[in-house]
A and B are shown apart, each in its own frame.
Chain A
Amino acid sequence: MNHSPSPQGGDVLLSVRNLSKRFHTASGPVKAVEDVSFDVGRGRIVGIVGESGSGKTTAGRCILRLVEPSEGEAVFDGVDLFKLPEKALRAYRRRMQIIFQDPYSSLNPRMRVGDIIGEAIDTHGLAKGAARQARIADLLARVGLSPEHARRYPHEFSGGQRQRIGIARALAVEPELIVADEPVSALDVSVQAQVLNLIQELQKELGLTMLFISHDLTVVEYLCDDIVVLYLGRIMEQGPSREVYANPRHPYTKALLSTAPIPDPTVRRERVILQGDIPSPLDPPSGCVFRTRCPFAIEACAKAVPPRESVSPSHSVACIRQAELATLATQKVTA
């Protein structure tokens, strides 16, 4: 079995091993997630990045068993969630919550905000009567809303406020792990900054562990301790985000970082503009799935899926040419 390097410093809350998910469709099996392994340290924020269709959402949902995984394991606090029968899973459901991308469709429009939050409390029988009301008021205050908001309906709120309601609902059951699937992608930058601050405050105060799914590399660099880069369902590179951003080793990571727009017109970067489109997950390329767009692809890249190679104790890359390319880069710099 493939062992992923542990995040720096300690205690692992969630350990995902060899996770695969194939969807069976009329046109054949879609390989949405293939052989994905990573660890999430307690109290850390791990970013999962990749372009649309790379399997971010599917991976997150498999871990919470909102989608049934095809293979692999997800060990949460010592227990493999994938092996638990539905009944035993219930107790774990409370400890892991999800926040969705779309603050508009993820809240029931016919329910008052207080009942949306209260429902989560009731499902797990956490509080009743006055204690329940107090808890709802407290949660609303925690996400920067006021207790009066409990009586209102979702359509009376702005996008940023709705996202706060979604966060309050997730926090209602005092989870240890939150999977946040593009929680700020639908928000304007000024509101996005408010929600990013809120996430950090809560993470510090409550010691939450978070899987933060995003396609925005700037936000992930800012917020996440560790990063996992996905392409066509597979991990290309992973490690502490500061290390990966400072020293990206996979050609895909390098291309992504070089094309993410930076709000500074004086920066002139050497851009790697990838040609072509992401191939269909119905028929992914053999060997390295990135090879059809990789500027460094050679024949050998089509032969076998590149194994994961460590470039530091917690930083690894799945590219057969990574060592060679690193030397080339150094020569170019020194030349």
Chain B
Amino acid sequence: MAAVLSAPSPLTATLPEDVVLRAEDLHTHFIVGERAAKSVDGVTLTVRRGETLAVVGESGSGKSVTSLSIMRLLAHPGRIVRGKILYRMRDGTVVDLATLPEKRMRAIRGKEIAMIFQEPMTSLNPLYTVGDQIMEMIRLHEPVSRHEARQRARQMLELVEIPAAEKRLDQYPHEMSGGMRQRVMIALALSCNPALLIADEPTTALDVTIQAQILDLMRRLQRDIGMSILFITHNLGVVAEIAHEVAVMYAGRVVEQAPVEALFARPRHPYTKGLLACIPNPERDRAADGARLMLNPIPGNVPSVLNLPPGCTYAPRCPLVEPRCEGEAPGLVPAGPGHLSRCFRHELL
């Protein structure tokens, strides 16, 4: 049911004005024969205009599959089997990306929503200069001359603070450092002025001093351009630095979403609480005499997406588990102002 172009879409009324993107009960599975890998198994999340939503979770929790679902770039045999991905276009109309025809998706990718990855070489072509790649991106979406495209490409490199931009335009990706390539990828993503940027672990492969530069750049760009960001990471330190809102993923589901201060001050899901306790903290982990105290790890392992436990998927590791949790799956329910938790017992936290 593609939105009608002329008449305002019936979906428009369903999305609050300040929301750019809302995934509702999204399910993306990889189906091979009889087996379904339920990589995304009920993701609900909201990105507000001009804000950064950080999606945090451990390896395999479904962060990348969620972002690829939004971009509709899933590799075979991945398929969205259920749910909505409501997106508010720049002109105000709302579309459901989950069902939009591929032809219309092509006009959205790059121009409305752009994506950057952990490994810049997944987006950069080693055979072309960075200038040619940015120019091609611009000319794909806008009818501008080569000369004009080159001017714009240079401005993009300046925007991401690459020194000697004019000279860099004629260089190949391999002639640059990792941090520089990540900047080029950001420039490429922003070259058609997208309203939403999806960044999948953009600083994970970088050294801390370079990570600090890139986070600083992204904060500045957001302030200046006003774009919304969906920032995927597994690092809660990075979340604290960059996010307005946080969605915590576990085994294919969002188990908690909240404003960043609320989430760290009082996590309302046992998994979030457990994750925070795993990160060493010099004040908490030293006895009065300076002796090191043991950490408090979450017992066990993340369940396989091929074989998720029934009921609450966190039950096998949860310190608060009760019989009900093993039979029935909790829904994502309000647990405070702007705070959602997928736990029957969130009031105990």
- Is B279 located at the chain interface by the 8 A CB criterion? yes
Asked whether, in the complex, the Cβ of A194 is within 8 Å of the Cβ of B208, the reply is no
Query: Cα distance A137–B295 when bound, in Å?
Result: 26
Interface residues of B in 207-226 (CB under 8 A from A): 207-213, 216
Given A256-B208, A263-B237, is A221 in contact with B282 using a C-beta cutoff of 8 Å? yes
Interface string of A169-199 (1 = CB under 8 A from B): 0000000000000000000111111101100
Asked whether, in the complex, the Cβ of B58 is within 8 Å of the Cβ of A190, the reply is yes
Neighbouring A residues of B238 by C-beta, 8 Å:
261
Asked whether, in the complex, the Cβ of B294 is within 8 Å of the Cβ of A189, the reply is no
Asked whether, in the complex, the Cβ of A190 is within 8 Å of the Cβ of B295, the reply is no
Task: Specify which of A189, A191, A222, A259 is in contact with B208 (CB 8 Å cutoff).
Answer: A259
Asked whether, in the complex, the Cβ of A263 is within 8 Å of the Cβ of B276, the reply is yes
- Is B180 located at the chain interface by the 8 A CB criterion? yes
- Is A206 located at the chain interface by the 8 A CB criterion? no
Query: Cα distance A289–B3 when bound, in Å?
Result: 59
- Is A8 located at the chain interface by the 8 A CB criterion? no
Neighbouring A residues of B294 by C-beta, 8 Å:
197, 200
- Is A321 located at the chain interface by the 8 A CB criterion? no
Neighbouring A residues of B207 by C-beta, 8 Å:
51-52, 215, 278
Given A200-B292, A256-B208, A261-B238, is A222 in contact with B285 using a C-beta cutoff of 8 Å? yes
- Is B177 located at the chain interface by the 8 A CB criterion? yes
Neighbouring B residues of A158 by C-beta, 8 Å:
301
Smallest CB–CB gap between A189 and chain B, Å? Answer: 5
Interface string of B185-214 (1 = CB under 8 A from A): 000000000000000000000011111110
- Is A299 located at the chain interface by the 8 A CB criterion? no
Query: Cα distance A277–B302 when bound, in Å?
Result: 37
- Is A262 located at the chain interface by the 8 A CB criterion? yes
Asked whether, in the complex, the Cβ of A245 is within 8 Å of the Cβ of B237, the reply is no
Q: Sample 22 A-B pairs with CB under 8 A, ordered by A number.
A: A51-B208, A160-B301, A188-B59, A190-B58, A190-B274, A200-B292, A222-B280, A222-B281, A222-B292, A223-B292, A256-B209, A259-B208, A262-B240, A263-B279, A265-B240, A265-B261, A266-B264, A273-B212, A273-B216, A274-B213, A275-B213, A278-B207
Neighbouring B residues of A193 by C-beta, 8 Å:
277-279, 295-298
Neighbouring A residues of B235 by C-beta, 8 Å:
261
Extra contacts besides A190-B275, A275-B213 (14): CB < 8 Å: A188-B58, A189-B275, A189-B279, A191-B301, A192-B278, A196-B280, A218-B280, A221-B280, A222-B282, A223-B292, A266-B264, A273-B212, A274-B209, A278-B177
CB closest chain-B residue, reference A241: B282
Interface residues of A in 203-245 (CB under 8 A from B): 215, 217-219, 221-223, 242, 245
Smallest CB–CB gap between B280 and chain A, Å? Answer: 3
When A and B form their complex, which 7 residue pairs have the shortest distance between CB atoms, in order from nearest? A261-B237, A222-B280, A193-B297, A259-B212, A51-B207, A193-B278, A188-B58
Query: Cα distance A242–B239 when bound, in Å?
Result: 26
Query: Cα distance A1–B260 when bound, in Å?
Result: 53
CB closest chain-A residue, reference B274: A190
Neighbouring A residues of B212 by C-beta, 8 Å:
259, 271, 273-274
Interface size class of A (residues with CB under 8 A): 35 or more
Neighbouring A residues of B280 by C-beta, 8 Å:
196, 218-219, 221-223
Smallest CB–CB gap between A254 and chain B, Å? Answer: 12
Interface residues of A in 265-314 (CB under 8 A from B): 265-267, 271, 273-275, 277-278, 293
- Is A264 located at the chain interface by the 8 A CB criterion? yes
Neighbouring A residues of B234 by C-beta, 8 Å:
188-189
Neighbouring B residues of A197 by C-beta, 8 Å:
294-295, 297
- Is B78 located at the chain interface by the 8 A CB criterion? no
Asked whether, in the complex, the Cβ of A266 is within 8 Å of the Cβ of B261, the reply is yes
Query: Cα distance A256–B212 when bound, in Å?
Result: 10
Neighbouring A residues of B277 by C-beta, 8 Å:
193
Given A190-B274, A194-B297, is A263 in contact with B239 using a C-beta cutoff of 8 Å? yes
- Is A260 located at the chain interface by the 8 A CB criterion? yes
- Is A145 located at the chain interface by the 8 A CB criterion? no
Asked whether, in the complex, the Cβ of B264 is within 8 Å of the Cβ of A190, the reply is no
- Is A325 located at the chain interface by the 8 A CB criterion? no
Neighbouring A residues of B276 by C-beta, 8 Å:
263
- Is A12 located at the chain interface by the 8 A CB criterion? no
- Is B179 located at the chain interface by the 8 A CB criterion? yes
- Is A255 located at the chain interface by the 8 A CB criterion? yes
Query: Cα distance A215–B264 when bound, in Å?
Result: 24
CB closest chain-B residue, reference A245: B282
Asked whether, in the complex, the Cβ of B295 is within 8 Å of the Cβ of A277, the reply is no
Smallest CB–CB gap between B182 and chain A, Å? Answer: 11
Neighbouring B residues of A190 by C-beta, 8 Å:
58, 274-275, 278, 297-298
Task: Specify which of B208, B209, B240, B290 is in contact with A264 (CB 8 Å cutoff).
Answer: B240
Neighbouring A residues of B213 by C-beta, 8 Å:
273-275
Query: Cα distance A275–B236 when bound, in Å?
Result: 24
Smallest CB–CB gap between A96 and chain B, Å? Answer: 24
Given A222-B280, A265-B260, is A189 in contact with B236 using a C-beta cutoff of 8 Å? yes
Given A197-B295, A271-B212, is A261 in contact with B241 using a C-beta cutoff of 8 Å? yes
Neighbouring B residues of A194 by C-beta, 8 Å:
297
Query: Cα distance A193–B290 when bound, in Å?
Result: 20
Query: Cα distance A196–B241 when bound, in Å?
Result: 25
